């Protein structure tokens, strides 16, 4: 029976998926070389390369904050700027991590409807002053799916990458929920990575069903030169690395990643459809992955909280955010939608 | 049957101990608040406070490098120095992590027999110049047990803390193997922490039997002010924190921590005793915890490697290092000792 | 005879004023202790304290970028944010200096008409989220006069300081042109510093008539604890400090500072008044110090450039910026105004 | 008449030489473009290039600490190490400046008689471990003349550069007193710079007779890519740059640099020769430039201080340091030598 609870607050409220846990338990056998020289880590790296159908260098990190900050510190020198969407996680939610790891690297926010940067906006930013009184831009970081639950199509992504590259910038993708984007678009993973021209990508594991950890994937192998030392310096080289890496094999060697992501996406659509006709409730952004942003009357929001639901109030970004995860129950979605309808009806 | 293998290379070659794994699996149930607001994390924090019998603030981190660097960055401002033993992990093995996180914080090495700093050496260092042409010392960091397998007694530790505090320095302990020290000394944990005057301590979980993670423990609660933001900025605030914290309950709520540490210590003593009479082989340092440093003839070292054993050649620190862990088999110790004797004989 | 030239581009195009040069030459006599232990430096520090009629700690630095960055790094820890006006020099023009020196310190821009932050805007910013997913604000930095040529009255400044202090923030003032503000307001210098509640202030020397250097002035003496080491670490402790400090005595021991600033302000007003009636030309901001921002038709701007005038086109801030300095000739102002009128007439 | 005084404490106790002052005064004429776009700065850059007879990129900085730190931050990434002599200024006297500017860059000290690193020592250091548990070396920094008053010959310098380059390291020279080395060796400046294989050099102006400032000279032009932004970010881009740059023309366009350096060197030799036969007094290091290190009986040292002389007691480096400058009077040298002899006799 579905119960009201905190599950919609974030997709990182979910436990490990069974496939990740199983791989973790299997990796717990006998001694193994430390610091990533073990067989599980090699296998997980190979699984990621196979998933992207690309040659790449993979480094496992503990958190998305670490992965993003290390990527940006690699792409930009301390005195350079990184362009991002004004809703980007990296500029708001990471306490200045890129600036710490990157020695002062700054993020420059760009506007864009529904969380997406468009070509014209990027072109305008690239045409601006870049002298020593302004700092020059060295990289573009994009979130896929965006912070507002929309996705960049392979074509849109490739267009932005080409424009950035043409101005000498590198491109990083924060793919905390990349599995959701791939599942939603029905494309090959490589279409959202190397084929689009992405140089470095943070592949989110936690929100996809792992317990801990993300993977930093370099498609431009030269950028990875020296990164092993940076990884260590930043406190991200885990001694028993196999316990960070092995769960990836559970996700990627079969279709668990897609199944879980597709399920979360379907739950989000189900929620969006269920509240579509509710008076006073409106979708703030198209639902293209596993997030639903709803403009809710204050009384409805308060009523949901009172009934035990948890979600993020994000007035600056259009409304309340509900996230679905691999473990979201359809019955819980229906119960939530019914509560919204009931509260909206007054 | 015991087999020759890599297990003596480091105590981080060992898998998770059963108690840690069991707690991890039990934590994998349903949604839970993210970023450490879950019940498992609160319980693990309480277990650490209870273990130290002290009021303290606990932050879980992914690696010892991160824990040590964050601690030193909290104790010293960017232009200040931290005193350490010349064999300290923080100065050699962490790629400059304290300098990165601490904005230029430097480590000043002090000599000392068998890995220990003694009072006279510390007093001499504290009497040195501290003007702007030298940088002043703000903290002392001690490794317990030391990098060379010896321990500081509670009295020695308290003496160093008092001396440091008397000069306005704070004290950090890198307790990557603190369980081994407590088990070896037979003292209360608090005798190596708050009772001795330690301000901040990195409590090693991985080497004690966890899969991932260490705990940073502030006994001086004022030092923890603002640390939550630093923790996040450094990429150490894990979203599904329960999977980093829960295993600590398995170690600490019973006596698993002591049983495992005592076992590793006993294996080290067993090895030391077994090679005591071997011609040409000598203990480089007293065996006081779970490490054995042996001066070995080159042919013996090469012979061991050829037979499949792995260990660290550390000529600067007196010889080859063999580490025992919670999973070391006594039969493997005996087999290793027999191989050493056989090779030394000719 | 007045000539067309680059002088209006910035007040840092001006040479040293005679009083500064004279003091510099007089300081060039015989050996003197290095690193600020000389008599000239003590005298210059005393002159600044006397000017502010306040107990304070003074550190001479080479540039405003250095002064501002060091001040902000002292007020905010690496994971904290500093609030500033969206036109602030520190966020646009210093290549991320605060982030470099402050280990990731970030600036959060606030809007405000004519370059000024008002109470309501500040109150709103202080009411926002400050948890680890956002970073907390530790300081407010204000530019006086503002980047757009307006000033904060003593009352407005005191109000902002009180509001910031009430929320636990410290206040820094970037006083690159503070002499102009004091001369314009006709107040005591202390009214724009300690009396208003300012904690640290960058007192601009270069734009006031020095050749090189600014002074960082701590009114909160506790904040200066340890700063001598930070100053050295940042490469700002000049060995022959007397040559940076002595010129301040020329400016401050008599009324040179006020005479020069008042002259520059008068030139700005003269320009503003002279173009007041010109068709198609409009003041973008009130002229309250030594800067004039003019909305100019493109043809007028181009025509001025063609005739040899230099100024900054700052479309984002309302128009072309003309700055007057201690050496601006009234005849040059009149010639510039006549050119504007002539070009505007077609 | 010669007087006892502080002049031997350091060569930065000296005033500006007349040639530097004259150029400074001449640069103080009318408005000039800011931030180094003026004619004096171009002329000073050209003078330095001509002096080295080499194509190079020049950046003026305020202090040696800034110049060295910026150079090392350019040569080494945050997680890399820089090799230096154990007496190097950069490791002892700069409060961790390279670590601040370089995001954690560390200095690794190497031993060497009389302040010089020799080939064997460097070769040994380059043969050491460079994995992620140690950090790899990216650069070698040499002080010329050394901290102990000796010089590297062009051949020795070229040998070290070749060895370093062969291992992929870049070479920086801290030439705070390079004029003294060139004058002492009688070689072309380029023999101690580009011809020897030096990549970046901090050319000391202050100790050579300027009032403020040093020059950072890139012989490897590619290394200068992006440096203009770094220079600005570090607070080293002076707005009225002409006052930092113009004095260089006074030193370099004639032979003032050589005349002053040769005079200081001759004074040092004069002092060394005068005390050569004094019982109980011994030269700690060969006198090859403008520094004299004397082993002095404690009573002699105390007696000198009591008579008003100032010098640096540097017991770790062999004794008391006396530095001669462009303004040292031969009579003062003779008086000092007589005092030493008298005190030693009695």
What CATH number has the domain bearing residue D290?
Answer: 3.90.1150.10
B262-to-B116, C159, C218, D170 alpha-carbon distances in Å? 22, 63, 55, 49
CB D21 within 8 A of CB C25: yes
Contacts of C229 in chain D (CB under 8 A): 95
Please say whether the dihedral angle defined by the alpha carbons of residues B34, B35, B37 and B43, taken in this order, is positive or negative: positive
Contact D9 C95 (CB under 8 A): no
Q: How far is CA D103 from the centre of its chain?
A: 24
Contact D79 B93 (CB under 8 A): no
Contacts of B101 in chain D (CB under 8 A): 104
**One domain for residues A293 and A239:** no
Give the ranges where chain A is alpha helix by DSSP (H): 18-26, 39-52, 64-75, 89-92, 97-101, 119-126, 154-166, 178-185, 227-233, 242-252, 256-274, 298-306, 330-345
Q: What does the pLDDT read at residue C5?
A: 85
Query: Chain A: residue nearest D229 by CA?
Result: A132
Is residue B2, in this structure, part of any structural domain at all? no
**One domain for residues A55 and A79:** yes
CA–CA dist B209, B257 (Å, integer)? 8
Residues 6 or more apart whose CB falls under 8 angstroms from that of D37 comprise: none
Q: Reading across the β-sheet that carries C282-283, which strands appear in turn?
A: C282-283, C291-295, C319-323, C312-314
Is residue A1, in this structure, part of any structural domain at all? no
**One domain for residues C227 and C281:** no
Is residue D2, in this structure, part of any structural domain at all? no
Is residue B88, in this structure, part of any structural domain at all? yes
CA–CA dist A134, A170 (Å, integer)? 19
Nearest Cα of chain A lies from the Cα of B241 at a distance, in angstroms, of: 8
Query: Chain A: residue nearest C101 by CA?
Result: A104
Q: How far is CA A270 from the centre of its chain?
A: 21
Give which of C12, C24, C31 to mutate to test D binding, by max D Cβ within 10 Å. Answer: C31
Residues 6 or more apart whose CB falls under 8 angstroms from that of A118 comprise: A112
Q: Which of A78, A101, A237 sits opposite D132 (nearest CB)?
A: A237
pLDDT digits (tens, 9 = 90+) for B145-180: 999 999 999 999 999 999 999 999 999 999 999 999
Phi and psi based region of residue D299 (left: phi greater than 0; alpha: psi -120 to 50; beta: remaining): alpha
- CATH, residue D144: 3.40.640.10
| Phi, psi dihedral angles at C33 (to 5 degrees) | -55, 145
Q: Which of A7, A69, A96 sits opposite B31 (nearest CB)?
A: A7
Contact D25 C21 (CB under 8 A): yes
Q: Is the pLDDT of residue A1 over 70?
A: no
Closest C-alpha among A81, A80, A314 to residue D229: A80
User: Which residues are bridge partners to A161 per DSSP?
Assistant: none
Contact C81 A103 (CB under 8 A): no
pLDDT digits (tens, 9 = 90+) for A267-293: 999 999 999 999 999 999 999 999 999
CB D216 within 8 A of CB D71: yes
A·D CB contacts under 8 A? 56
pLDDT digits (tens, 9 = 90+) for D224-261: 999 999 999 999 999 999 999 999 999 999 999 999 99
Contact B80 C232 (CB under 8 A): no
Query: Chain A: residue nearest B67 by CA?
Result: A235
pLDDT digits (tens, 9 = 90+) for D61-101: 999 999 999 999 999 999 999 999 999 988 887 889 999 99
Is residue A2, in this structure, part of any structural domain at all? no
CB A112 within 8 A of CB A103: no
Q: A337-341, B129-133, B257-261, C154-158: which range is least confident on average?
A: B129-133
Residue D204: pLDDT band (50, 70, 90) is very high
Q: What does the pLDDT read at residue D1?
A: 60
**One domain for residues D244 and D262:** no
Instruction: Tell me what the mean pLDDT of segment B45-63 comes to.
Output: 98
A·B CB contacts under 8 A? 172
Query: Chain C: residue nearest D212 by CA?
Result: C240
Is residue C2, in this structure, part of any structural domain at all? no
Query: Chain D: residue nearest A103 by CA?
Result: D103
CB C23 within 8 A of CB C249: yes
Contacts of B103 in chain D (CB under 8 A): 99-100
Contact C235 D34 (CB under 8 A): no
By percentage, how much of chain C surpasses pLDDT 70?
100
Q: How many CA atoms lie within 13 A of D42 on its CB side?
A: 6
Contact C99 A103 (CB under 8 A): yes
**One domain for residues A264 and A185:** no
Q: What does the pLDDT read at residue D209?
A: 98
Query: Chain D: residue nearest B128 by CA?
Result: D316
Burial status of residue A283 (CB atoms within 10 A of its CB: 0-12, 13-18, 19 or more): middle
**One domain for residues B246 and B307:** no
To 5 degrees, how large is the angle CA A10–CA A11–CA A17?
150
**How many domains, in total, are found in chain D?**
2
Q: Is the pLDDT of residue B43 over 90?
A: yes
pTM of the model: 0.96
Relative to beta strand D214-218, strand C137-143 is unpaired
**One domain for residues A211 and A298:** no
Question: What is the DSSP-derived secondary structure letter of residue D194?
Answer: G
Instruction: Tell me what the mean pLDDT of segment B73-101 comes to.
Output: 92
Instruction: Tell me what the mean pLDDT of segment D139-157 comes to.
Output: 98
Contact A25 B30 (CB under 8 A): no
pLDDT digits (tens, 9 = 90+) for D286-336: 999 999 999 999 999 999 999 999 999 988 888 999 999 999 999 999 999
Nearest Cα of chain B lies from the Cα of A265 at a distance, in angstroms, of: 18
Question: What is the DSSP-derived secondary structure letter of residue A287?
Answer: -
Q: What does the pLDDT read at residue B89?
A: 84
Please say whether the dihedral angle defined by the alpha carbons of residues D145, D151, D154 and D160, taken in this order, is positive or negative: negative
Q: Which of B79, B230, B237 sits opposite C233 (nearest CB)?
A: B79
To 5 degrees, how large is the angle CA C322–CA C325–CA C327?
125
Residues 6 or more apart whose CB falls under 8 angstroms from that of B136 comprise: B80, B81, B130, C229
Contacts of D104 in chain B (CB under 8 A): 95-101, 104
Q: Which of A95, A101, A104 sits opposite C135 (nearest CB)?
A: A95
**One domain for residues D271 and D186:** no
Residue B130: pLDDT band (50, 70, 90) is confident
DSSP, collapsed to helix, strand or coil, labels residue C216 as: strand
Q: Which of A136, A231, A233 sits opposite D104 (nearest CB)?
A: A233
Query: Chain D: residue nearest C100 by CA?
Result: D101
Per-residue pLDDT of chain C (346 residues; tens, 9 = 90+): 678 988 899 999 999 999 999 999 999 999 999 999 999 999 999 999 999 999 999 999 999 999 999 999 999 999 999 999 999 988 887 889 999 999 999 999 999 999 999 999 999 999 987 788 878 999 999 999 999 999 999 999 999 999 999 999 999 999 999 999 999 999 999 999 999 999 999 999 999 999 999 999 999 999 999 999 999 999 999 999 999 999 999 999 999 999 999 999 999 999 999 999 999 999 999 999 999 999 999 999 999 999 999 999 988 888 999 999 999 999 999 999 999 999 999 8
| Phi, psi dihedral angles at B186 (to 5 degrees) | 65, 25
Give the ranges where B234-291 is alpha helix by DSSP (H): 242-252, 256-274
CB C177 within 8 A of CB C145: yes
Domain boundary among B220, B237, B252: B252
| Phi, psi dihedral angles at B233 (to 5 degrees) | -60, -35
pLDDT digits (tens, 9 = 90+) for A114-172: 999 999 999 999 998 778 887 899 999 999 999 999 999 999 999 999 999 999 999 99
**One domain for residues B170 and B112:** yes
Residues 6 or more apart whose CB falls under 8 angstroms from that of A80 comprise: A105, A135, A136, A137, A138, A139, D226, D229
E strands in D90-165: 106-110, 137-143
Is residue A163, in this structure, part of any structural domain at all? yes
Relative to beta strand A291-295, strand A282-283 is antiparallel
**One domain for residues C245 and C263:** no
CA–CA dist C117, C129 (Å, integer)? 19
- Cα radius of gyration (chain B): 20
pLDDT digits (tens, 9 = 90+) for A242-263: 999 999 999 999 999 999 999 9
Please say whether the dihedral angle defined by the alpha carbons of residues B84, B88, B91 and B95, taken in this order, is positive or negative: negative
CA–CA dist D309, D9 (Å, integer)? 8
Q: What does the pLDDT read at residue A261?
A: 98
Instruction: Tell me what the mean pLDDT of segment A51-70 comes to.
Output: 98
How many C-beta atoms surround the C-beta of residue B128 within 10 A? 11
Q: Is the pLDDT of residue B264 over 80?
A: yes
**One domain for residues D169 and D294:** no
**One domain for residues A63 and A166:** yes
By percentage, how much of chain D surpasses pLDDT 90?
91
Domain boundary among A221, A252, A283: A252
Is residue B1, in this structure, part of any structural domain at all? no
Q: Give me the domain span that covers residue A329.
A: 7-14+256-345
Instruction: Tell me what the mean pLDDT of segment B219-238 comes to.
Output: 97
Q: What does the pLDDT read at residue B184?
A: 98
Q: What does the pLDDT read at residue B243?
A: 98
Q: What does the pLDDT read at residue A5?
A: 85
pLDDT digits (tens, 9 = 90+) for C82-115: 999 999 988 887 889 999 999 999 999 999 999 9
Q: What does the pLDDT read at residue A90?
A: 80
Q: What does the pLDDT read at residue C1?
A: 60
Contact B92 D133 (CB under 8 A): yes
Contact D134 B104 (CB under 8 A): no
Q: Which of A100, A101, A104 sits opposite C96 (nearest CB)?
A: A104
Query: Chain B: residue nearest D136 by CA?
Result: B95
Contacts of C136 in chain B (CB under 8 A): 229
Domain boundary among D198, D224, D252: D252
Nearest Cα of chain D lies from the Cα of B272 at a distance, in angstroms, of: 27
Instruction: Tell me what the mean pLDDT of segment D149-155 comes to.
Output: 98
């Amino acid at each position: 029976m579905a119960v009201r609870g905190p599950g919609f607050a974030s997709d990182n409220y979910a436990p490990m998926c069974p496939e990740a846990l199983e791989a973790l338990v299997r990796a717990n056998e006998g001694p193994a070389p430390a610091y990533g020289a073990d067989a599980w880590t090699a296998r997980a790296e190979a699984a990621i390369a196979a998933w992207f159908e690309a040659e790449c260098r993979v480094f496992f990190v503990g958190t998305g904050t670490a992965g993003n900050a290390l990527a940006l510190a690699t792409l930009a020198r301390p005195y350079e700027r990184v362009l991002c969407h004004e809703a980007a996680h990296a500029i708001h939610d990471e306490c200045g991590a890129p600036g710490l790891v990157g020695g002062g690297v700054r993020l420059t926010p760009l506007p864009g409807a529904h969380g997406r940067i468009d070509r014209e906006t990027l072109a305008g930013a690239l045409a601006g002053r870049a002298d020593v009184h302004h700092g020059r831009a060295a990289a573009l970081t994009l979130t896929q799916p965006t912070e507002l639950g929309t996705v960049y199509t392979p074509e849109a992504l490739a267009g932005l990458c080409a424009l950035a590259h043409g101005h000498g910038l590198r491109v990083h993708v924060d793919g905390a929920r990349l599995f959701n984007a791939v599942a939603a678009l029905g494309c090959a993973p490589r279409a959202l990575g190397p084929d689009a021209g992405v140089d470095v990508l943070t592949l989110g594991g936690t929100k996809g069903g792992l317990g801990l950890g993300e993977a930093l994937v370099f498609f431009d192998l030269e950028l990875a030169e020296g990164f092993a030392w940076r990884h260590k310096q930043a406190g991200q080289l885990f001694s028993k690395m196999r316990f960070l890496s092995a769960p990836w094999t559970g996700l990627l060697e079969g279709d668990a990643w897609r199944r879980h992501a597709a399920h979360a996406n379907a739950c989000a659509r189900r929620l969006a459809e269920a509240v579509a006709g509710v008076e006073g409730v409106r979708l703030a952004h198209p639902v293209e992955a596993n997030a639903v942003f709803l403009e809710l009357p204050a009384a409805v929001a308060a009523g949901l909280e009172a009934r035990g639901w948890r979600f993020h109030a994000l007035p600056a970004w259009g409304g309340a955010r509900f996230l679905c995860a691999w473990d979201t129950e359809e019955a819980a979605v229906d119960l939530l939608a019914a509560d919204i309808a009931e509260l909206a009806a007054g």
